[in-house]
Amino acid sequence: MLKYDMIVSSRFNLFKHTVTHRSKRSETNTMKTILIIDDEAFVHEYLGKVISRLGYQVETAASATAGLNALKNSQIDLVIADVYLPDSPMPYQWLGQLAETAAGRPIVLISGAPTDELVQNAAKCGISTFLSKPFELAFIRNVLTDTLN
């Protein structure tokens, strides 16, 4: 087992994560399902592969409408959603719809550089976790672990 600290910074916060690399997948992850809502095929493919390799099941949706429908009709444990989708309303309205449909399930937002206004609007909807592009494996692992536990 390899253990190391990773510092992730943004203009909002400085996070220190202890990253543990294990050769076996965590058995507790196998039943968890992550929904990825993003219109970019690359994001679906990359995040889907990374998250499934971490032992989670993955569902994807390429639009806001498909994402909300998937969230209504399936057993999703966590949602990773892009803030800006072609068919979504303005970000504040989209976050409200997403949070309402998620009904208390954790949401992680994908944003290149979240503005203060976006962070405040997300917080009003109970969303406090952002995944910034470019994605880093260790950070994705920590976000999933921290958010689901």
14-40: average pLDDT: 59
> What homologous superfamily does CATH list for 29-148?
Response regulator (3.40.50.2300)
94-116: average pLDDT: 92
**Bridge partners of residue 35, in order along the sequence:** 59, 79
User: Between the CA atoms of 28, 54, 43 and 130, what dihedral angle is there, to the nearest 10 degrees?
Assistant: 60
20-40: average pLDDT: 66
d(CA 31, CA 60): 16
d(CA 92, CA 118): 8
Q: Which of 127, 43, 40, 8 lies closest to 79 in space, CA to CA?
A: 127
Residue 139 near residue 6, CB atoms below 8 Å: yes
33-60: average pLDDT: 93
Residue 9 scores a pLDDT above 50: no
Sequence-separated (6 or more) residues with CB below 8 Å from residue 4 = 18, 19
Residue 2 scores a pLDDT above 80: no
pTM tops 0.85, yes or no: no
**Domain spans of the chain, in order of start:** 29-148
pLDDT at position 29: 52
Task: Choose between 120 and 7: higher pLDDT.
Answer: 120
Residue 80 near residue 108, CB atoms below 8 Å: yes
